[in-house]
Amino acid sequence: MLNDLLLKALNHEIVPRPPIWLMRQAGRYLPEYQRIRSQVSFLELCNNPELAVEVSLQPYNRFNTDAVIVFSDILLPAQKMGLELEFTEDGPRINNLISSDMDIKRLQIPLANEETYPTLSAINILKKEIGEKVPIIGFSGAPWTLFCYMTEGYSSSNFYKAKKFLHSNPQAAHQLLSKITNTLFLYLTMQVNAGAHVLQIFDTWAGILSLEDYKTYVLPYLKHLISDLMPLKTPIILYTNNSHHLLSKISMLKIAALSLDWRCNLQDVRENFGSNIGLQGNLDPTILLTDQVIVREKTKNMIQSIKNWQVGYICNLGHGVLPNTPVENVHAMVDTVFEFANEPTLAFTS
């Protein structure tokens, strides 16, 4: 592979500069994305492999990122399981949410093929388009994060319905989590078979749980999913949000890297985790709303906060790129990372 910085970082090899890609690097802040979105709905875009590939490549073509993440959405597996999914101005909405044992029984574990998931076709096309230039990242939501949407119906800061379901009907909750986990295993496996070099699992809502609930309802299913994916020999990145209180348990997972939000101190996490798990992140995406001088300063500070960033570190945001982000500020962040290879004064020396 011509640019294997990401793969080397995930394998804990020394790199001349941190690899960089951004969550939601393809999205509403890009004018070329807006031109396509003005012609199709969000779901139509996700389900059109050719358009999804075009959108996936937009940030790579513009910024020369060190990876291309396929354009899709974490809720597509929920739709394929039998739920009615739509995207409104306020975000995703599931109209027939899960509220009973019977609802869970009606859910199917769909076949993971290109007919069911056009995303797989998109990855196949991406592989042909970019060849061995940079790695392709496939992804899914985590079992618990999908559980949240499937029982709540929409995005929430607290997911009261999801947590109520969890505590009032724990047996049904485990059944639903198991069904989601099996669905995600098939989906992620086929993404690798289609050509993904790296997988990222988004557990965006893990942080709303207590440590005890995380141990009961999240950790077993993540362990199961990751363990079943291990034979694929594909590095897995886990993203968690607002999860500082969960890190002692997350460290038990056999992942290549942990992607963190801006609330976590990367060096502190590295010291607690040791060198077994790489780190990804974790610039606050609101910093990209400021100006290029601030973006450059904050990006340098973030990287330099990790003593030995040359091993096992991937530069990213702590969440996705915000829709109103100036394109030139993304350029500033990416260019700052590129400059680390040319400025020895920025590098860590032991």
- List the catalytic residue out of 4, 66, 73, 203: 73
- Cα–Cα distance for residue pair 48/39, rounded to 1 Å: 12
Residues 18, 340 contacting (CB under 8 angstroms): yes
The answer to whether 149 is a known catalytic residue is yes
- List the catalytic residue out of 29, 60, 117, 149: 149
Q: CA-based Rg of the chain, rounded to a whole angstrom?
A: 19
The answer to whether 24 is a known catalytic residue is yes
The answer to whether 268 is a known catalytic residue is no
Tokens for 285? 């995406």
Tokens for 28? 């509403």
Tokens for 142? 């985590």
Residues 64, 334 contacting (CB under 8 angstroms): yes
- List the catalytic residue out of 17, 24, 29, 117: 24
Angle at 206 between CA 204 and CA 207, to 5 degrees: 100
The answer to whether 28 is a known catalytic residue is yes
The answer to whether 62 is a known catalytic residue is no
Q: Which residue bears the tokens 């031109």?
A: 35
Which residues on adjacent β-strands are paired with residue 14?
A: 311
Residue type present at position 338: F
Residue numbers annotated as active site: 24, 28, 37, 73, 149
